[in-house]
Amino acid sequence: MRVLSGIQPSGSLHLGNYFAMMKRMIEYQKNHELFCFIVNYHALTTVSDAAMLRQRTFEAICDFLALGIDPDKSYFYVQSDIPEVTELTWILSNVTSLGLLERAHSFKDKKAKGIVANHGLFAYPVLMAADILLYGAELIPVGKDQKQHVEMTRDIAIRFNQTYGETFVLPKPDIPRDVATIPGIDGQKMSKSYGNTIDIFAPKDEMKKTVMSIVTDSTPVEEPKNFKTCNLFKIYTLFLDEEGKKELKHRYLKPGLKYGEVKKELVEVIRSYFEPYREKREKLLQDRDYVMDIMHTGAKKTRAVGLYYLEKARENVGLNY
């Protein structure tokens, strides 16, 4: 099956990104045809500092490679290295109604926050549809917040196929039940925009400070604790197997548990989980030529697949005269 997803180059990678999307993508590459990319065209809707966009894109590439994306096994690329995606965006724009775009939650949320919307932000879901339809992707692993965008892609594809004949594959969102929402240190969804993230490659002191500030309740030490409503518990168990989860539950139910101690343990657990990746990432960050080489090869391979669907679309709408 063809599996595809992209990630914004929006700064430091956090536990939410990793468990909701990246970890699953890396697992999918074992048995599926994986398309994985850095969405820098989309980032233009929010980042207007060129040096920053460049830097973040490079870091995001190194993050993925360090965490285990294998460029030989999968299609790994930067969105803007495939200019065909913008051509398809234009073609799809003509089967996308204003009403559909106006109903997009993420657009409405951003507008409600006072962000002055430009055309790029409004058309964001059409570009995302092109990202998906260009390669005939079937399964789209995303967090809950992107579900509507994938459904819109489906709507756009259906409309296109009805108007011009069977052209595109209809994709489905793939949202994991158990890790649908990963809480941040304040208990809301972990998200850069809420400032509540635990960044996986943060220096030790910073990581410690963040983990120590995970919000917990004020149950006295000598009383049993409620693990069900505890953020610290939810974050810690991301790293535990069934056995480990059981043990931690027992510790919560027994009087005497100190949240501070659990937090200190958690710092070590996170650090050691990501330790091998951290070293690999440092090396990649220093070896720009090697990384650029990988990305050029990835783009070439990916463009070849994209051209198939683009040519089909061009033909079916009558652009090939």
Residues in contact with 156: Cβ distance below 8 Å, sequence separation at least 6, in sequence order: 92, 95, 96, 100, 126, 129, 133
Site string for ligand TRP, 118-147 (x = CB under 6 A): ----------x--xx-------x-x---x-
Terminal Cα-to-Cα distance of the chain (whole angstroms): 34
Q: Which of 42, 110, 154, 189 binds ligand TRP (CB under 6 A)?
A: 42
Q: Which of 2, 3, 5, 13 binds ligand TRP (CB under 6 A)?
A: 5
Tokens 């190194």 appear where? 62
* Residue of 23, 111, 147, 189 marked catalytic: 189
* Residue of 111, 147, 192, 249 marked catalytic: 192
Judged by CB under 6 A, does residue 69 bind ligand TRP?
A: no
Judged by CB under 6 A, does residue 45 bind ligand TRP?
A: no
Closer by beta carbon to ligand TRP, 132 or else 295: 132
Q: How far is the C-alpha of 174 from the C-alpha of 226, rounded, in Å?
A: 31
Closer by beta carbon to ligand TRP, 66 or else 132: 132
Return the number of other C-beta atoms located less than 10 Å from residue 283's C-beta: 12
HSE-CB at 77 with a 13 A cutoff on CA atoms is 25
Judged by CB under 6 A, does residue 63 bind ligand TRP?
A: no
Q: How far is the C-alpha of 37 from the C-alpha of 19, rounded, in Å?
A: 17
Judged by CB under 6 A, does residue 59 bind ligand TRP?
A: no
| Minimum separation from the CB atom of position 4 to ligand TRP (A) | 6
Residue 228 among the catalytic residues: no
Q: What residue number has its CB nearest to ligand TRP?
A: 6
8 Å CB contact between 161 and 93: no
Q: How far is the C-alpha of 100 from the C-alpha of 53, rounded, in Å?
A: 29
Question: What phi and psi, each to the nearest 5 degrees, are found at residue 215?
Answer: -75, 125
Closer by beta carbon to ligand TRP, 90 or else 290: 90
Tokens at 73, concatenated? 């096994």
| Residues annotated as catalytic (active site), given as ranges | 110, 189, 192
Q: Where along the sequence are the contacts to ligand TRP (CB under 6 A)?
A: 4-6, 8, 39, 42, 128, 131-132, 140, 142, 146, 149
